[in-house]
Structure 1
């Protein structure tokens, strides 16, 4: 399950050949001669096979370097018949190269402190289960400590994902348990029978078992993303409709119907609502289609949830249409065997009172159907219009139970100087009581996959469990205090804050971990840097901007060796010869390797520090000419200090300079709109240059475009399914009006809780479209069914059907609402993404619960009144005189 292991910090073993121009010139050789000799004398060879006594022996020439002595004894040349060895012109030693990264850490509870540790960063292979791989890694480490490492050497686990995984699963477990408990209680209230409620509740384990089997097949792990937003109320909706309808039929059964047997009654009753259940749940599944089309970060976050919910509702549908009728019939078999005595049931005075008042309400409202519909839709449109007050963001601020900071010292600071500051940073942070540990990483890892400059330090802050904190401080306040404290202690540095996992993901996906990255793209770096400075000033003066800076370092002092080609040619020296001298003598060149079993160590040739660490020393470097004479570097190149870029970032082949900022206290969409307006007004962008907006805002923009296409298509598909169910355009539109009720309620709920519209909330809106339509399906289907068997006015038919179906509508919507209450109010680690989703669903279904029973009957009455009156007059008997 491991893809790779990147090391960070600690000394690396090297075989270093250190010489000087004077020692080389003494014997008339140059550094390239040394390099060539070492390369030639570090290899094994094969001599085929010799035969002896009928047996073949492989011939091997073993000449690979194994030690310092082997290098020292390599012959370079001879002077008057006396061999000149490497040891004569250089010292050979085992030493580490200059560090690319320095690791430090402080663990408060264990009182462990290190300023120069060695870290292994283990990279998980894509698609593997992190929990299983972590267990295997920890088992392997324990085995290594027991059998392979010296007693005094221990491997300390600094950070892994198990804390986040375990606490997220704990949050999920608490939410699911609370949701199931509340749903069962609500079922008992609405069904009026503990036995019936438990039968319906059996849908939950059946649906989950089916979902887990399908998740196993699809390779979806059980975690916060896949299970965190499961609404058990939605899962039991189909079963609740079936059970409520069957119980009502049992209670209203006549002696003649009872004589036909419970199987006959059950079959007929199940057939009446089976089609509605099938189409309603199919619509719920279809509503998740926009989520499944999401890509990149949002797709990884929400596709598992959509698939899991789809699997669960499929399982619940199978259970509702097959298992529930059988179990309910068993529960009422004995009661139905008595032909004269009605089926006993517990009266629910609350529901009886609600039904009575609802019937009286409809009697009045159907006298003024147009007024009711106009007023209701005016209110709904008013709620929907509040969407203009909603801010937008990609995702809510995530809480991983830790803090991640980045520190940028002034450009050009060496890694050794920067590393001196890291212990001070750890000391400042660890003085806060909630802090558990602090890990600092200065520079970059050894394999160079993270090309960070030497002035950058990443700081991972581990926190104690929240239950151990005092009530006087919250995490956001702690982060603000730490950042302010660090900024005051190091005024020349720049600090930004975030979360370790999501920041790394965003940096890989978008190129920046910031909430907003504004890049000037073009060819002239100096021009773009000027524009970037102006953009940064605009951003700093915009409300909500924090941690504003330019990501790329500016120009730094460099020692430029500008080769004079004419002078070099005059001495018969190629440019490549001079470049080779610069690379090897000054920088140090890896010329070969020493193999020790499976381990490999570099052999590096380089000049001694005193021969390369000053401008004068570099000017005096001797480059061999074609005649054999040695020419000083000062005669072959102009050597001066200049200002220049140390790194250049590109996008699509174009250079770019990026201004990054985090956004606090306002929404991303509104912030970007204000900033882009100021930039367009202030900065003139010439042809060949452009300004692009990235970071998390890039994800928001992409996800918004996807949803703006897929949601309308989904609504059209839902309409098509409803038309195939009803075969009537008016009935389809009446049913789909429930979507507007849900939309208004979801928007109002977000505003009420102070949330912005983000991808999580968008997923919530997608989810409620299917569930809200179910209420309309039940009402319209019941009215049509009643019209077929009842002879009376349309008003009477609408009232009878609506009152009869009220309990079913209340039950499916209330259980769906309360099933998500725990997720909506959860504050555990990992709950941040689920809260907006749950809030939207609760708000949308609450408004559907209020408006659907009030609006659908008058709306149906308005659309069908003329048709019904026309049919009644056509069917009226005629009298001939």
Structure 2
């Protein structure tokens, strides 16, 4: 082997290379960012459009449908989801994963620009953004204290937010419950009528008087000067002096017809922390920064601010994502250390000498540390996925070293010199070890190029493992032979441990030798009963597949991260005060639970949300799911709540509830009736909780009908009627007032006392262009009463209602299967209504397809590598049989432990595809070597089994015990790692035991098949003798 020869001939050069790699690894480790999940850049875009005063139905017809039709023409659009409410339309566009996210967002901007003329003139400027999945809040704060609302808002806005924004790595800060200053011009409609003025004249006067516009540039020979025309107000009181009209030389000023109030905008939401009203803040980090480091810097700044704030003002941490990351990383680190120790103990049990064990074990830290350098070069971070890859690779990384050192020790016992043994032993198994490593790499490379959200999350996982095993291979071919030649001697048996430890090691190895004898006898019997062996193996495989539907399927395991979210949609039309009363009822119940540390509540008119922070996981007797179930029983007794209580989080998903199905149809009334029946059906399925639908009951609506003929005769434009009514009941922002660098909105409205009901339209006049007089608006309109939608949901350009639920004691796939079976049997969808999977189910189905492709590619690559190694198309088939043997143990282990089947467990099974072929390669390779030495087939199989039993069991046990701490871990984030480790351990156990017994049987069957093919070929007419000999050599 080239690398081995170099390291043995030039030991200092080899050591220098290893030291350099370690140094790079250490430096890279210190520079790696620490985040929750890998950073993703998925192609999603969002369009937000506001049209003040428009009803949901108006927004849908005038804005949403126009936007959907336009963006639907863009290449690569996969799904379009819209939510339409009063005055707003929000459209999310999901593109194929092949599209670049920035290019997709730019295409959306270009398309929206091209249809700007088709949208209403009075919409606010559309906001188009690329959805950044990395821009999630890393820290949420609540500021409360003894100050009044205005003073507290000023303190937060002018002191706290700017200070935290200055922290390096902070991207943005969103505030909730902050009072926003507003200049309010409350017009007296009776004074307007008395002076023959219209509300639009007031707005026109304000707009022409309060200006701040660029006026070009002036240049002379030496410099250029920018011109700015400004006639704005220097203070709020000056608004009263604005001239609105001139009547026969008499100026009518704003103060004569309106009150000018320097006040605050109406609050849309209220926040509470442990019952006290507060101002909430969500802090989002900049993309590509270290979550933990940025959070630590923010907390340090908060400590400084807290010391300088007035007494009684508190900045409380509501949620801290870095705590979960830090705890998760610490948990992974501890399991890695424990795994390393256990793997080394297993090696020591078999090798019995300290020097051999140290030489094998040195590959672990060397491989792991060097892998950090590759991770840094590839732009990876230390996150759940990359750390999971390293923790599960502990036993794998020592595997190559074990095989090499075991073979070196075997050659030393043949009487060879250390240098000769190191060189020849490594060369003897180099191809087998190379093939083993390449099969693992071949399995994980397809995983790293998967598309969609699964590919984004598992790319780092797959490449981290691939790099780690390649580094391990390099270390096994360089450092291990070098250290073996230097430190391992055949005489070391004389220096084996004495005393109790020595007796235990001697007993252990004696028992293992007896196991080898028994194994040879069992193998001898099995080779005589090949048909029964194959039938039993097939039966076990079928049994393992039967377990799959019994386990159910989830996208990813739910994680207990120490929080519970309680949210509820409220009845339409409630006031903020009424919504607050509902929230207080919920707070009183959840606050009684001893495991709840704090409660952060956000109240809106139609929704309440409570984030509960729990005590540490290890200090609780109940899981977050169990606490959630208890809370749910109490909370559902409160009327008027469409409740959702979730105690765990999972990767992916978009809806507030864990399970949803789309119901779509053009006839909305029929769609609503059918969805409500389906909701009742779902509520009757055991395990379905918090059942609801996405539709909200409409609220009362009055339609103002303009009499076009009358308006035309009197010279009044219908648009003037609409805008005047909008100002009467909602007001209108007419500009901004600048003060101290801040820009404050200026809002014109009719005095509240004069606009509190529809009866107040009296006394509002419009100017007539035909008569020159003033026309009462009542002469131009009639009223119709009805009900308007409070929110409209659309999916792929069709109205959509989602039937939603959370689930207890079952998986999402089990609930989906039970619900769909019941739905199509008892309530089949009528013509015109379609039922499709919700976002979570769609994501799982698409991921299953991606995973299937990756698995097929991995199997193909493994086969091709083995075919290249053995120079045969048939011999690798014997090794490939080990793949289904691994599935047997993986499925049984997942079922028995209750871990269930998820994408993480399936990734573990793919992981096994690379691992389990190792044992079969070692066995088949040695069988072929012994046959080439002249042994008969059966004798070669029995001898190969005896000789390879020790390295096979040693490497397998090292991998199993290396992963055991991960499988038993109960620390933060362990739910994501456990199923994979359990599947791998179960698969290793079954594949190893069955490989030792079944693979020799399969090898003999394939060998017999080759002989039959050879005989058939020999009888082929026209084949020359020379060609027959060549054919025999080709098929082995």
CA, structure 1 residues 143+33, in 2 after alignment: closer, same or farther (shift >3 Å)? Answer: farther
Q: Which residue of 2 aligns with 1:878?
A: none
CA, structure 1 residues 114+635, in 2 after alignment: closer, same or farther (shift >3 Å)? Answer: same
Alignment of 1:524-673 (within 5 A): 524-626=667-769, 627-673=771-817
Q: CA deviation at 1:36?
A: 1.6
Q: Which residue of 2 aligns with 1:379?
A: 540
2:311 is the alignment partner of 1:160: no
Alignment of 1:55-74 (within 5 A): 62-74=230-242
Q: CA deviation at 1:604?
A: 0.4
CA, structure 1 residues 697+42, in 2 after alignment: closer, same or farther (shift >3 Å)? Answer: same
CA, structure 1 residues 7+243, in 2 after alignment: closer, same or farther (shift >3 Å)? Answer: same
Q: Say whether the 8 Å CA contact 1:164–1:829 is kept in structure 2.
A: yes
Q: Which residue of 2 aligns with 1:243?
A: 405
Q: CA deviation at 1:520?
A: 1.7
Q: Which residue of 2 aligns with 1:480?
A: 629
Q: Which of 872, 879, 885 matches 1:741?
A: 885
Q: Which of 858, 861, 864 matches 2:1001?
A: 858
Q: CA deviation at 1:8?
A: 1.4
Q: Which of 718, 727, 741 matches 2:862?
A: 718
Q: Which of 457, 468, 491 matches 2:619?
A: 468
Q: Partner of 1:158: helix, strand, or coil?
A: strand
CA, structure 1 residues 294+45, in 2 after alignment: closer, same or farther (shift >3 Å)? Answer: closer
Alignment of 1:280-319 (within 5 A): 280-319=436-475
Q: CA deviation at 1:413?
A: 1.4
Q: Which residue of 1 aligns with 2:479?
A: 323
Q: Say whether the 8 Å CA contact 2:318–2:613 is kept in structure 1.
A: no
Q: Matched residues in 1 for 2:946 and 2:396: separation?
A: 22
Q: CA deviation at 1:60?
A: 5.7
Q: CA deviation at 1:281?
A: 1.1
Q: Which residue of 2 aligns with 1:520?
A: 663
Give 5+ residue unaligned stretches, structure 1.
107-112, 444-453, 876-881
Alignment of 1:11-50 (within 5 A): 11-44=179-212
Q: Say whether the 8 Å CA contact 1:10–1:103 is kept in structure 2.
A: no
Question: What is the aligned residue count?
Answer: 837
Q: Partner of 1:506: helix, strand, or coil?
A: coil
The one-character-per-residue Cα deviations of 1:386-428 (angstroms, maximum 9, x if unpaired) are 3343311212222121111111222221223102332332232
Alignment of 1:51-200 (within 5 A): 62-106=230-274, 113-115=275-277, 117-142=278-303, 154-200=314-360
RMSD of the TM alignment (CA)? 2.9
Q: Say whether the 8 Å CA contact 1:513–1:695 is kept in structure 2.
A: no
Q: CA deviation at 1:142?
A: 4.8
The one-character-per-residue Cα deviations of 1:535-569 (angstroms, maximum 9, x if unpaired) are 11221122221111011212221233233323322
Q: Say whether the 8 Å CA contact 1:515–1:695 is kept in structure 2.
A: no
Q: Partner of 2:612: helix, strand, or coil?
A: strand
Shifted more, 241-250 versus 613-622: the winner is 613-622
Shifted more, 862-871 versus 559-568: the winner is 862-871
Q: Say whether the 8 Å CA contact 1:210–1:311 is kept in structure 2.
A: no
Q: Which residue of 1 aligns with 2:366?
A: 206
Give 5+ residue unaligned stretches, structure 2.
1-168, 498-504, 1015-1027, 1030-1036
CA, structure 1 residues 647+408, in 2 after alignment: closer, same or farther (shift >3 Å)? Answer: closer
Q: Which of 332, 336, 341 matches 2:488?
A: 332
Q: CA deviation at 1:296?
A: 4.0
2:921 is the alignment partner of 1:777: yes
2:674 is the alignment partner of 1:506: no
Q: Matched residues in 2 for 1:378 and 1:385: separation?
A: 11
CA, structure 1 residues 829+564, in 2 after alignment: closer, same or farther (shift >3 Å)? Answer: farther
Q: Matched residues in 2 for 1:694 and 1:634: separation?
A: 48
Alignment of 1:388-537 (within 5 A): 388-443=549-604, 454-469=605-620, 471=621, 473-488=622-637, 490-498=638-646, 502=650, 506-507=653-654, 512-537=655-680
Q: CA deviation at 1:694?
A: 0.6
CA, structure 1 residues 357+220, in 2 after alignment: closer, same or farther (shift >3 Å)? Answer: same
Q: Say whether the 8 Å CA contact 1:585–1:605 is kept in structure 2.
A: no
Q: CA deviation at 1:650?
A: 1.3
Q: Say whether the 8 Å CA contact 1:8–1:101 is kept in structure 2.
A: yes
Q: Say whether the 8 Å CA contact 2:558–2:648 is kept in structure 1.
A: no
Q: Say whether the 8 Å CA contact 2:728–2:749 is kept in structure 1.
A: yes
Q: Which residue of 2 aligns with 1:350?
A: 511
2:890 is the alignment partner of 1:729: no
Q: Partner of 1:298: helix, strand, or coil?
A: helix
Q: CA deviation at 1:865?
A: 5.6
Q: Say whether the 8 Å CA contact 2:397–2:469 is kept in structure 1.
A: yes
2:949 is the alignment partner of 1:788: no
Q: CA deviation at 1:353?
A: 2.0
Q: CA deviation at 1:59?
A: 6.8
Structure number with greater CO (CA < 8 Å, separation at least 6) is 1
CA, structure 1 residues 784+58, in 2 after alignment: closer, same or farther (shift >3 Å)? Answer: closer
Q: Say whether the 8 Å CA contact 1:437–1:462 is kept in structure 2.
A: yes
Q: Say whether the 8 Å CA contact 2:663–2:800 is kept in structure 1.
A: yes
Q: Matched residues in 1 for 2:541 and 2:222: separation?
A: 99
Q: Partner of 1:517: helix, strand, or coil?
A: strand
Q: CA deviation at 1:772?
A: 0.4
Q: Which residue of 2 aligns with 1:218?
A: 378
CA, structure 1 residues 53+697, in 2 after alignment: closer, same or farther (shift >3 Å)? Answer: closer
The one-character-per-residue Cα deviations of 1:296-350 (angstroms, maximum 9, x if unpaired) are 44334433222221221111111112111111221125849xxxx9998975223
Q: Partner of 1:491: helix, strand, or coil?
A: coil
CA, structure 1 residues 57+671, in 2 after alignment: closer, same or farther (shift >3 Å)? Answer: closer
TM-score, length-scaled by structure 1:
0.89
CA, structure 1 residues 188+343, in 2 after alignment: closer, same or farther (shift >3 Å)? Answer: closer
Q: Say whether the 8 Å CA contact 1:747–1:840 is kept in structure 2.
A: yes
Q: Which residue of 2 aligns with 1:110?
A: none
Q: Which residue of 2 aligns with 1:448?
A: none
Q: Matched residues in 1 for 2:360 and 2:773: separation?
A: 97
Q: CA deviation at 1:592?
A: 0.5
Q: CA deviation at 1:178?
A: 1.6
The one-character-per-residue Cα deviations of 1:653-699 (angstroms, maximum 9, x if unpaired) are 21111111122222322322232233334445456542211132222
CA, structure 1 residues 27+803, in 2 after alignment: closer, same or farther (shift >3 Å)? Answer: same
Q: Partner of 1:765: helix, strand, or coil?
A: helix
Q: Matched residues in 1 for 2:691 and 2:221: separation?
A: 81
Q: Partner of 1:514: helix, strand, or coil?
A: coil
Q: Partner of 1:5: helix, strand, or coil?
A: strand
Q: Say whether the 8 Å CA contact 1:517–1:693 is kept in structure 2.
A: yes
Q: Say whether the 8 Å CA contact 1:7–1:120 is kept in structure 2.
A: yes
